[in-house]
Amino acid sequence: MVQFSNQSSYIFVNEAYCINPTCSCTEVTLTFIELSDDGQLMNKLFNIRVDMSSWKVTDKTIFSKKTVADKMMKEFMDHIDEISRD
Ligand SMILES: [Zn+2]
């Protein structure tokens, strides 16, 4: 779970790895979902696809307000080194 500085609510980050067994990519799709105060999954905010060998974003899909998603995405990428160490 991640809390962003510009958001009061907690964000759940779902990781989905490539499911194609013959594929050799190192990409993971992260889906950012806003949680309600009692921890229920609420709105899907955005997806980013990240190449784990370089930590570069290869694709993104925004479901919510673009300005909010852009800010959160940038903040997440600024801290991705810390997050990936967990
Ligand atoms: Zn793949």
CA of residue 51 to ligand 1 center, whole Å = 10
Let me know the angle formed at the C-alpha of 41 by 36 and 43, rounded to the nearest 5 degrees. Answer: 85
CA of residue 30 to ligand 1 center, whole Å = 14
- Interstrand relation of 56-62 and 10-17 (parallel, antiparallel or unpaired): unpaired
CA of residue 45 to ligand 1 center, whole Å = 23
CA of residue 10 to ligand 1 center, whole Å = 29
Domain boundaries, the chain: 2-85
pLDDT tens digits for 22-72?
A: 999 999 999 999 888 888 999 899 999 999 888 888 999 999 878 778 888
Place of tokens 């993971």: 28
pTM for the model stands at 0.76
Alpha helices by DSSP H, listed for the chain, are 66-78, 80-85
